[in-house]
Structure 1
């Protein structure tokens, strides 16, 4: 790690061999005139194409390039976590490797960090994606996330973000929580803002996301909601659920007792039994799920084990 680096740009890479040379050239065109020491941290997330080899070749001519090759495809969250751990800049900027994020917006984000913010999130104000399959679900998800978490942003899905390094060191990423980084930062008391950024149509390859992403977002949203509100006081949610279950059981038992005293047979009510079983099972499953999330966090943080494994790391060097 280079302690003299002011700015680290972290880019998760998965099957982007065609776009990589163009992306790196555009980044250098933007970063070099900024007159700040910088590094490009390219994290190859187990690509099945030649992305790793492209990164290695680029490193021969670019001393600021840091290549990180993961052993397999762990997912974007793990790739970003690896990039955060490897990076050494006071400010860390992230963006996608598919050329849809515009590197020319990086100075705008960095200046906002210099103004006193801890996290600056990009807002793809004029997003160049399909309206029905990408933009509409994203708009609904952004409103839902803002309402549930209380951190209201127009575009949670934009990878172009800037962070103070100390904010990232306070956070632990698991699962697919990279899209909820503003919420995790808010838990740590970070000052957050949002700026409009440019968005470009994809030039190479195809999107890596499918319809299953929607379900993953919903599950992660439930986790983040719990972490945001009840991480240090889980009894608030478990106790509330338990009280509701007890009250429901008491009311039902009282009703059955009354009709039993009135002479009605209560031994043949399968629908009531089924409803009670569903209620109890639902509370138990919800509680077990949240307890499982807490146990996973405790497991990783107590052992200080990363969610990725690095095969190789190399720093750029001028070819001789």
Structure 2
């Protein structure tokens, strides 16, 4: 029987938007890390997510009508709820972590554990998904680099210097929570994409929970906090919410979740470079070393996935993968 190329996601087509997402996420972390020293995180999130939600829901309603824009709430209730919950947890934990830690560290811990968790849980949430051996090796290397970064943050060797063990532990715990939520977000966004929802359709229904929670909490904390957050919130709505989330949704549509997680993990390299002009921070050789190591692991995993997508093979035959991914 002649060999046949099986339908597959397109890693090259998905790589460009995912790299754009990584760069914008880094810019967000550096900008927000600076602004959050004087602006309430909840007020900032309330403003930025309200603007982003209004834009995407309005755009989808104009193009397809309000009923069609809200249809995913009925047709895919469970996955939409999971995306809303993971979006809220991701952003709130990240914004608070930036008050305590170096942006590059928040970025790397929050995003780079994504490939590891995707290796573990991706095959469980998406039956038939294959995790390649090279991707598993890359994820193991990322775990090692993360362990070194955690040690550096606790011992004052990161860019922010000594912040105290309590603050460092709180910041690290929040970034771990953020990383778990990012992974869930990628997996459930992929499920919605595979169910036929385009990027705009997903974005139009993913912010409702975040908007409700942040406005309730911000107003309880004092309405006077909203004013100072208006301009930074508008900036973050563009560079940190709307555009990067659209890019990652496009990237997810054309790649496997593990590839999306690996390419997103390049963001710490961008964050390290962008944070250099920030006078609050000093260059950290340890952070740079770990970021470079993670970048190398990302390249290994992404290259393996690209080769996997190009290899002609018999229907039903997969290249070598981790044993657990076949169950």
TM-score by length of structure 1 reads 0.29
Higher helix share: 2
Under a length normalisation based on structure 2, what TM-score does the superposition of the two structures give? 0.29
1 or 2 for the larger relative contact order (CA 8 Å, sep ≥6)? 2
Q: Which structure has the larger Rg?
A: 1
- More strand as a share of residues: 1
